[in-house]
């Protein structure tokens, strides 16, 4: 079993009420064996951590990774124009190989900006799973399920096939969920069928909720309910762990319905800002005990999958919305991107904090930069000043995926070449 020692580093464990401290981290195989000052154990490899902060890898709780190939293609449009005029026609041109390379492009950006795990919802998920296995990241994968046309059950069979082939694979780095796309694309009967399957198979559910005001109006017109009421009445929150993406347009009554749910809400502030969707009631949800993590959504809407940008945006939006700078302080925003997102992916027993016995998913942030000095409060610098480009090293399951800004599990030059050629073909004529 290979061992790795990280020496003399500032450690931010993200454990409850534990302040940053200087010490060492010993990794054995895929697991953190010891954390503390002055560890004397021998190791096969040592990383000198002076000037670095070690923290849990960031966890992106909502992604559509292949949309990286559509970054910057349809900016500054209203949501339905963005979706119907640009996104859907371009996505229709994607081949399974395009999806594989689009996922790899997203993962390269995530690894280089400190993300170690993500939740993905898309199509051709076997290609995405293969890309994840090769790249070394941790991921919760789900085949998006739209039930607006009768496809003879093909989509659902693809979703179940993904679970059968990939759940627990890649040394446990890949888990799966079922993913009814959204209230407005899933009528009551097929939605209830997916909920029942999730209960029987003990699988979490990943679903969009109340991203736009248009969705709220549509569900109200069709069912005389809010989107949250619609999911509640379909039994989604009875016995299933649920990852709700967005949750922008929730009433106080909606938030009451979510209280006590297993899982929680993935807040996507950059995408919501860029598409003009609104500001999610994050503080109010947290006050009701609802777990709120962070995601980027796809790069087709957010333009970036750098989770440090989401941390900033999440904190600033709540401060602005309330007119109160004490709302969503730095440490809480960092918890959203680590331990809370881990809870949403239902992997918080393995990752999300740095502690002995957990999987070795962590990043080293280089603080030896003008914009990260002086170091008065580590959490404040990480939340408000740091960016993805400040990440020096990314480790998942004890394996170094990036060191000194160099990707070790991908050919970055070939990746960029493939992305450029494929993106050009995908958007031609759209």
* Domain topology for 58-344: TIM Barrel (3.20.20)
> Which neighbouring-strand residues pair with 23?
9
Could you say which DSSP state residue 175 is in? E
Q: pLDDT per position in the chain (430 positions), as tens?
A: 899 999 999 999 999 989 999 999 999 999 999 999 999 889 999 999 999 999 999 999 999 999 999 999 989 988 778 888 999 999 999 999 999 999 999 999 999 999 999 999 999 999 999 999 999 999 999 999 999 988 889 999 999 999 999 999 999 999 999 999 999 999 999 999 999 999 999 999 999 999 999 999 999 999 999 999 999 999 999 999 999 999 999 999 999 999 999 999 999 999 999 999 999 999 999 999 999 999 999 999 999 999 999 999 999 999 999 999 999 999 999 999 999 999 999 999 999 999 999 999 999 999 999 999 999 999 999 999 999 999 999 999 999 999 999 999 999 999 999 999 999 999 998 9
Q: For tokens 């900006």, what's the residue? A: 113
Residue 350 buriedness (CB in 10 A; 0-12 / 13-18 / 19+) = buried
The Cα–Cα gap between 273 and 276 comes to 5
The Cα–Cα gap between 121 and 159 comes to 10
Q: What is the pLDDT at residue 380?
A: 98
Collapsing DSSP to helix, strand or coil, 340 comes out as: helix
The Cα–Cα gap between 28 and 33 comes to 6
Give CA 406 to chain center in angstroms: 22
CB atoms near residue 348 (< 10 Å):
18
Collapsing DSSP to helix, strand or coil, 145 comes out as: strand
Angle, to 10 degrees, between the axis of helix 96-112 and the axis of helix 412-427? 130
Who contacts 417 (Cβ-Cβ below 8 Å, separation ≥6)? none
Give the tokens for residue 54: 């070690």
Collapsing DSSP to helix, strand or coil, 164 comes out as: helix
Averaged confidence pLDDT in the chain? 97
Q: Got the DSSP string for 18-65?
A: ---EEEEEEEETTEEEEEETT-----SEEEE-TTEEEEEPEEEEEE-G
Quick: pLDDT tens for 367-408: 999 999 999 999 999 999 999 999 999 999 999 999 999 999
What are the Cα distances from residue 413, in Å, to 43, 275, 278, 388, 420? 32, 31, 38, 20, 11
The Cα–Cα gap between 76 and 409 comes to 35
Who contacts 154 (Cβ-Cβ below 8 Å, separation ≥6)? none
Who contacts 98 (Cβ-Cβ below 8 Å, separation ≥6)? 66, 69, 422, 426
Residue 362's closest CA among 391, 330, 325, 389? 391
Who contacts 318 (Cβ-Cβ below 8 Å, separation ≥6)? 279, 282, 283, 327, 328
Give CA 110 to chain center in angstroms: 10
Q: What is the pLDDT at residue 45?
A: 97
Q: Are 131 and 90 in contact (CB under 8 A)?
A: no
Give the tokens for residue 298: 């796809």
Give the tokens for residue 166: 């990939």
Residue 32's closest CA among 395, 409, 426? 395
Could you say which DSSP state residue 172 is in? T
* Domain topology for 3-56+359-407: Urease, subunit C; domain 1 (2.30.40)
Considering the chain, tell me which residue range(s) the CATH 2.30.40.10 domain(s) occupy. Answer: 3-56+359-407
The Cα–Cα gap between 160 and 330 comes to 40
Burial 65-103 (b: 16+ CB within 10 A, else e): bbbbbbbebbeeeebeebbeebbeebbeebeeebbbbbb
The Cα–Cα gap between 107 and 174 comes to 14
What's the helix, strand, coil split of the chain in %, to 5? 40, 25, 35
Quick: pLDDT tens for 241-281: 999 999 999 999 999 999 999 999 999 999 999 999 999 99
The Cα–Cα gap between 12 and 15 comes to 8
Peptide bond connecting 362 to the previous residue in cis, omega within 30 degrees of 0: no
Considering the chain, tell me which residue range(s) the CATH 3.20.20.140 domain(s) occupy. Answer: 58-344
Q: What is the pLDDT at residue 78?
A: 83
């Amino acid at each position: 079993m290979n061992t790795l020692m990280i020496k003399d580093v500032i450690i931010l464990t993200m454990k409850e009420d534990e302040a940053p401290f200087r010490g060492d981290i010993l990794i054995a195989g895929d697991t953190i064996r010891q954390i503390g000052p002055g560890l004397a154990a021998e190791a096969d490899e040592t990383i000198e951590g002076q000037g670095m902060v070690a923290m849990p890898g960031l966890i992106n709780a909502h992604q559509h990774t292949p949309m990286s190939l559509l970054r910057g293609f349809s900016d500054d449009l209203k949501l339905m124009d963005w979706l119907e005029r640009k996104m859907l026609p371009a996505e229709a041109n994607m081949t399974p190989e395009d999806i594989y390379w689009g996922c790899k492009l997203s993962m390269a950006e995530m690894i280089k900006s400190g993300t170690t795990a993500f939740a993905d919802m898309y199509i051709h998920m076997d290609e995405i799973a293969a890309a994840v296995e090769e790249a070394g990241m941790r991921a919760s994968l789900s085949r998006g399920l739209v039930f607006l046309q009768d496809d003879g059950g093909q989509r659902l069979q693809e979703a179940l096939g993904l679970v059968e082939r990939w759940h627990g694979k890649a040394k446990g780095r890949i888990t799966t969920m079922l993913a009814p796309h959204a209230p407005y694309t899933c009528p009551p009967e097929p939605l209830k069928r997916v909920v029942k399957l999730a209960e029987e198979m003990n699988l979490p559910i990943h679903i969009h909720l109340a991203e736009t005001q248009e969705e709220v109006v549509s569900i109200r017109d069709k069912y005389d309910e809010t989107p949250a009421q619609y999911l509640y009445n379909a039994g989604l929150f009875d016995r299933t762990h649920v990852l709700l993406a967005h949750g922008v347009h929730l009433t106080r009554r909606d938030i009451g319905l979510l209280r006590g749910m297993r899982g929680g809400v993935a807040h996507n502030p950059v995408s919501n800002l860029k598409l003009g969707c609104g500001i999610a009631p994050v503080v109010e949800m947290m006050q009701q005990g609802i777990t709120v993590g962070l995601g980027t959504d796809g790069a087709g809407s957010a333009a970036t999958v750098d989770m440090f940008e989401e941390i900033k945006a999440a904190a600033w939006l709540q401060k602005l919305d309330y007119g109160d700078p004490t709302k969503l302080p730095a440490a809480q925003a960092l918890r959203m991107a680590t331990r809370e997102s881990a809870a949403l992916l239902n992997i918080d027993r393995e990752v999300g904090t740095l502690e002995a016995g957990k999987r070795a998913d962590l990043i080293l942030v280089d603080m030896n930069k003008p914009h990260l000095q002086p170091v008065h409060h580590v959490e404040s610098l990480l939340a408000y000043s740091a960016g993805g480009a400040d990440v020096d090293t990314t480790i998942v399951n004890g394996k170094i995926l990036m060191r000194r800004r160099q990707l070790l599990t991908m050919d970055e030059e070939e990746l960029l070449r493939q992305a450029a050629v494929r993106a050009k073909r995908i958007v031609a004529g759209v």
